[in-house]
Amino acid sequence: MQAEVDDLINLLDLEPIEKDIFRGVSPQEDRQRVFGGQVAGQALVAATRTVQGRAVHSLQAYFIRPGDVAAPLVYLVERVRDGRSFTTRRVTAIQRGQPIFAMSASFHKQEDGFEHQTDLPAGIPDPDELEPFVRDGLAVDHQGRIARPIELRYVTGSPAQRGQNREPRLQVWLRATGTLPADPVLHTCMFTYASDITVLDTATKALPLEGFDIDFQAASLDHAMWFHRPLRMDDWIFLDQVSHSASNARGLAWGTAWNRTGELVASVVQEGLIRPLAKQS
């Protein structure tokens, strides 16, 4: 599936329009709105294009309006601060003159310091022991759509296996389905893209529903990430996700990511809308 991965690489390669202004497009897919991970990944690309010699270590983002897949996305980057150790950027994604997404990202120069980490959970099956997540013979994403650039192998079973007595937890191995250039920025931005695929599903695991027939409205509201160590998306990353709360038509989920050698590489937190749909009489 190298062609699909190459398409994702191209999707994350923004067109510079003017200083600190970039344009992105959406793939020609059957979606009602732009995939949130695409906007987050493209926004991080835009921010990174204005920074030299420093790597992103955190981002916080808000999904403001649904994105239109038929319209280009314009990314405006604000250079908030260039300090001796840290750099801050603010990015706004615009469609038809209105903001649909806003992100703040912080970059840090490489420094030596103290280290510790939480270990990879014991007893996790190797990804080679698991089957790709498939439906109707095709690899699919969390809502049953074909998802070729990113392969998912669930440890805890399908995210469609819901029920009020289930633990709101999802464990999954993920990776790009083809080879990638060595560019560390691309790997970080592609993980940002992929991080929006599964996290919110964790908050829906305990719902009294089954299967892909979603009887609720779901949408990403906000998204935060921390990058602890370099990562590669052309090798397996294990994402352990748990939801501590769902209330007031919102659910919160936390994910912790390790690479295959056991290094903790990133953390992600997302709150999403989980609104029950009105029953039709």
Report DSSP letters for 177-212, one per residue: SS---S-HHHHHHHHHHHHHHHHHHHHHTTSS--SS
In a domain, 177, yes or no: yes
Output 10 or 207, whichever has higher pLDDT: 10
Residue 8 has pLDDT above 80, yes or no: yes
20, with CB counted inside 10 A (0-12, 13-18, 19+), is middle
Q: Lowest-confidence range among 51-55, 67-71, 217-221?
A: 217-221
Confidence of residue 33 (pLDDT cuts 50, 70, 90): confident
In the predicted structure, residue 29 carries a pLDDT above the cut 60: yes
Three-class DSSP labels, 75-113: EEEEEEEECCCEEEEEEEEEECCEEEEEEEEEEECCCCC
Candidates 195, 220, 241, 243; catalytic one: 220
pTM of the model: 0.90
Q: At 254, which CATH number?
A: 2.40.160.210
> Is pLDDT above 50 for 266?
yes
Which pLDDT belongs to residue 281? 35
104-113 pLDDT, tens per residue? 999 999 999 9
pLDDT at residue 278, as a whole number: 64
Number of structural domains, the chain?
1
What's residue 163's pLDDT?
58
Is 217 marked active-site? no
List pLDDT tens digits, range 182-217. Answer: 999 999 999 999 999 988 888 887 776 655 555 678
Question: Is residue 107 exposed (0-12), middle (13-18) or buried (19+ Cβ within 10 Å)?
Answer: buried
Q: Where residue 235 falls among pLDDT bands split at 50, 70, 90?
A: very high
Q: Is residue 46 part of a domain?
A: yes
Range of the domain at 71: 2-110+126-276
- Residue 216 domain-assigned? yes
Domain contains 158: yes
Q: Is 85 a catalytic residue?
A: no
Identify the active-site residue in 95, 158, 171, 196: 196
Residue 115 forms part of a structural domain:
no
Residue 116 lies in a domain: no
Confidence of residue 34 (pLDDT cuts 50, 70, 90): very high
Task: Point out which residues pair with 250 in neighbouring strands.
Answer: 247, 273
Residue 121 within a domain: no
Q: What is the pLDDT of residue 236?
A: 97
Top mean-pLDDT range of 30-34, 136-140, 159-163? 30-34
Minimum mean pLDDT among 17-31, 57-71, 138-152, 226-240: which range?
138-152
Q: Reply yes or no on whether the pLDDT at 250 is more than 50.
A: yes
The predicted-structure confidence for 149-160, as pLDDT tens digits, reads as follows 899 999 987 776
* Mean of the per-residue pLDDT values of the chain: 88
- Does residue 119 lie within any of the structural domains? no
Whether residue 168 has pLDDT greater than 90: no
At residue 67's C-alpha, the angle toward residues 63 and 73, to 5°, is: 100
Rg for the chain (alpha carbons), in Å? 18
Q: What angle do the packed helices 2-11 and 36-48 form, to 10 degrees?
A: 60
215 an active-site residue?
no
